[in-house]
Amino acid sequence: MQISILLMKQILELFLMIFMGYVIVKTGLLKDEDSKVLSTLVLYLIVPCVILNAFQVDYTPEKVSGLELACIASLLLLFILLPVVNLIGKVLKLNEVETMSIYYSNSGNLIVPLVAFMLGDKWVFYACVFMGLQTIFFWTHCKKVLSHEKGFNLKKIFFNINIITIIIAITLFFAKIRLPEIITGTLSSVGAMIGPASMFVIGMLIGGMDLKKVLTNKKAYFISFMRLIVIPLIALLILKVSGLVGWNKEGEEILFLTDLFHGSPFNAVVSLMRDHEFHHITGINIPLAVEVMMGRYADKSAEEICRGIMEAAPDTVKYVNDLFDDEEEEE
């Protein structure tokens, strides 16, 4: 419930930002074509900063597993939804532009701003996988359908600013290269502008439109309904049936907190660790328990929370999973 309220609050904030961009055009302070400058800044400066900063994280098996899951899920959706959307287009007698509008989302310009603003940089890390794969689909499949050209323009794919940034970011991640703090601080500061700047662009573009003509276009409502409601529901169904959520260790995590090393609660939890997978920290007090809860609401993984607690109180806290790993190596 709390997550739903938080998301609704952030969605309302985004709409208010869009309204601000709309008002600044309608009052004559700026023209709708002035949005091109801001759009260029977002696409070529702010979004790359967000992507690079999102990949400046510790290299962990959980992160790699998450990337693998994101890649598999993205490919699964792209390949399964394609014939589904084509069938919908034929049955409803939609033209090529309408059919492609249902299949392709505006991931190139909007996915990073929306994910970064609503869910945080952690999820930009995974969203970039879908964005990269859909960009390839867009400049191959979509371009072929709409232009009826046979060949592919590889420059449009691999010289796309998002693709270039993702390749650099992934390379830094797998090479375990951390940029200097002054650079990551700059990336974070510039990236923080992504929500307002992107929404201002949308508002300014809407301000230059004939809203009466747009709002009376019945076909636009139908295409929007299919793109924003029907296709996401089908995608959720595909992910649910495929069971992909269970592939990621971060999908469902359990973290046990015990107060005393070798106390009765500690021994009871340890007895379960040989047959079940979960995280276990011992030596916890009330301030550290509060820090664990703060980490949970910051959407950190269980292992990230454990490592953070270990750094906060290295002399009193033990990450029991590490003790188990050491014991197995000795055996």
Q: Would residue 298 count as lying in a domain? A: yes
Examine the domain organization and report whether 142 and 42 are in the same domain: yes
What pLDDT is stored for residue 295 in this prediction?
74
- C-alpha 154/C-alpha 143 separation (Å) is 12
Examine the domain organization and report whether 101 and 169 are in the same domain: yes
Residue 7: is its pLDDT beyond 70? Answer: no
Examine the domain organization and report whether 42 and 139 are in the same domain: yes
Q: Would residue 293 count as lying in a domain? A: yes
* Count of domains forming the chain: 2
What would you report as the CA-atom Rg of the chain, rounded to the nearest whole angstrom? 24
On whether the CB atoms of residues 256 and 281 are closer than 8 A, the answer is yes
At 138-179, the pLDDT tens digits run 888 888 888 877 777 777 778 888 889 999 999 999 999 999
On whether the CB atoms of residues 291 and 309 are closer than 8 A, the answer is yes
At 79-96, the pLDDT tens digits run 999 999 999 999 988 999
What is the domain-level CATH number for residue 262? 3.40.50.510
Q: Kindly state the percentage of the chain with pLDDT values over 70.
A: 90
At 117-131, the pLDDT tens digits run 777 777 888 888 888
Examine the domain organization and report whether 40 and 158 are in the same domain: yes
From 244, 265, 293, the end of a domain falls on: 244
Q: What is the SS3 assignment for 255? A: strand
Q: Which residues on neighbouring strands pair with residue 313, listed in sequence order?
A: none
Q: Would residue 173 count as lying in a domain? A: yes
What pLDDT is stored for residue 116 in this prediction?
77
Examine the domain organization and report whether 65 and 212 are in the same domain: yes
pTM as predicted: 0.69
Q: Which residue has the tokens 């997550």?
A: 3
Examine the domain organization and report whether 237 and 136 are in the same domain: yes
Examine the domain organization and report whether 20 and 46 are in the same domain: yes
- Confidence bin at 20 (pLDDT 50/70/90): very high
From 186, 221, 244, the end of a domain falls on: 244
The mean per-residue pLDDT over the stretch 237-260 comes to 72
Residue 1: is its pLDDT beyond 50? Answer: no
The mean per-residue pLDDT over the stretch 240-247 comes to 72
Q: Would residue 5 count as lying in a domain? A: no
Examine the domain organization and report whether 206 and 283 are in the same domain: no
Q: Kindly state the percentage of the chain with pLDDT values over 90.
A: 25
Q: Which residue has the tokens 């005393």?
A: 260
Examine the domain organization and report whether 224 and 319 are in the same domain: no
Examine the domain organization and report whether 199 and 279 are in the same domain: no
- C-alpha 98/C-alpha 221 separation (Å) is 12
Contacts of 29 (CB under 8 A, 6+ apart): none
Identify the domain containing residue 289 by its residue range: 255-330
At 190-218, the pLDDT tens digits run 988 888 898 999 999 999 888 888 888 88
What pLDDT is stored for residue 299 in this prediction?
62
Examine the domain organization and report whether 133 and 278 are in the same domain: no
The one-letter code for the residue type at 330 is: E
Examine the domain organization and report whether 182 and 291 are in the same domain: no
From 197, 215, 244, the end of a domain falls on: 244
Q: Would residue 182 count as lying in a domain? A: yes
Mean pLDDT of the chain: 83
